[in-house]
Amino acid sequence: MASYDVIIIGSGPGGYVCAIRCAQLGLKTAVVEGRETLGGTCLNVGCIPSKALLHATHQLHEAEHNFARMGLKGKSPSVDWKQMQAYKDEVIGQNTKGIEFLFKKNKIDWIKGWASIPGAGKVKVGDETHDAKHIVIASGSESASVPGADVTIDEKVVVTSTGALELSKVPKSMVVIGGGVIGLEMGSVYARLGAQVTVVEFLDAITPGMDGEVQKNFQKILKKQGIDFVMGAAVHTVETLKTKAKVHYKLRKDDSEHQLDADVVLVATGRKPYTEGLGLDGLGVEMTKHGQVAVGRDWQTNIKGVYAIGDAIEGPMLAHKAEDEGMAVAEVLVGKHGHVNYGVIPGVIYTHPEVANVGETEETLKDQGRAYKVGKFSFMGNGRAKANFAADGFVKILADKATDRILGAHIIGPMAGDLIHEICVAMEFGASAEDLALTCHAHPTYSEAVREAALACGDGAIHA
């Protein structure tokens, strides 16, 4: 048995970042992780491997559709699925080994196994119980099932995002249940590889919670890329046959019955906190009605010395949100003031084009009754985007009508996930759209579209 200043349960982005910052601040730190590798869902079966496949298949798309237009002629590449999987695994290995190196560098102990909390200040792993002044729950999340539906996941024919990353072969057809981030990213991967992809969504718009104009335009772009959509559909049964599946659903508008056949069905209806086996009930930890760990402003639970961060608590299930919380909790543990600005947490969908957002949407501002103005600029007016066959989409900035302060932004377009951060920094400093518009941007860059949208909040964009 060992004694620590802090034991963190889980080595995902929230857990490992929290551990590193705790160690940097002088705390004796350990992390409990039961996987064979560090990094949690994100590095092993989530963010990182999915981005590897998105990158690889985007290169295939460019070769098939744009190389000849640029004078790059030759036979289109064929897909070696086994090699693509090996590339993905190599990327995972590089990243997880990198976290292991950082643990050694910062003298963080990795306690291998699955944790439970038998009492305040105690963490049990296997037969050993360790003492800790502070415990941080960073146990992450797991795939959620289809609400109220008869669906059995076997990770071969009916898969979650985990199974979708390691299919034995590229399917001819795939049904994606859920029009959120995970479903659209993985659907894009297999559509580029030649699968006929159909997204079945319960609501009338994809990417729930995003700006309405973005939702409509994004769906149109994906349809142009060959992805089909069935909207307003409630899946009630997925029937698994030997090598295929049948998806049975009802259209909400008329209660009519329909079915789709598919080689693979991807269940992408969201995620739920993973706290199984931690013993939170016995410890008396308060939970929310949605099964999340309830915490106060300092991320402490109702049990003194027990904290929680990331997907285990309320808020968007995003790796970078967990990282921010991990650093903030570390600061709290040494008596400093940990801070997370929940109003400036960007979201990104890594399709092509990418989609990124931060802050308010038009819908949330209307609900608040807040007067606002819109500055919008199409990538069709951006020279770099046109040269790179990446002119689909736009930048949209929302600013307070009276003060011009930036309230939110929404981007569909090339490198949207990187472009959004200029606006995030501006919002952190309470900048106005005019501040952004008066900032010189290099030409030719995609970022000029951000400046043009800011200009459009005032006297007007130049290239519109």
Which residues are bridge partners to 373 per DSSP? Answer: 399
Q: Which residue out of 65, 339, 421, 443 is catalytically annotated? A: 443
Structure token digits, residue 434: 């005019």
In the numeric block, the tokens 């496949």 are attached to: 53
Cα 339 from Cα 315, distance rounded (Å): 15
For residues 120 and 304, is the Cβ–Cβ distance under 8 A? yes
Order the strands of the 158-159 sheet from edge to edge: 158-159, 264-267, 173-177, 196-201, 228-231
Cα 323 from Cα 20, distance rounded (Å): 11
User: Residue 313: which of 332, 295, 286, 340 has the closest Cα?
Assistant: 295
CA dihedral (55, 226, 387, 392) positive or negative: negative
Mapped onto helix, strand or coil, the DSSP state of residue 323 is helix
Cα 327 from Cα 309, distance rounded (Å): 10
For residues 329 and 17, is the Cβ–Cβ distance under 8 A? no
Cα 179 from Cα 185, distance rounded (Å): 10
For residues 393 and 412, is the Cβ–Cβ distance under 8 A? yes
CA 291 from centroid of its chain's CA atoms: 20
How many other C-beta atoms lie within 10 A of the C-beta of residue 34?
15
Helices (H), 286-357: 319-333
443 a catalytic residue: yes
Helices (H), 106-201: 161-164, 181-192
- DSSP character at residue 312: G
How far does the chain reach from its first CA to its final CA, in angstroms? 67
For residues 286 and 294, is the Cβ–Cβ distance under 8 A? yes
User: Residue 13: which of 299, 270, 293, 324 has the closest Cα?
Assistant: 324
Structure token digits, residue 366: 């209307």
Cα pseudo-dihedral 7, 46, 79, 386, rounded to 10: -120
For residues 142 and 182, is the Cβ–Cβ distance under 8 A? no
Residues 6+ apart with CB under 8 A from 160: 143, 153, 266, 267, 268
Active site residues: 443
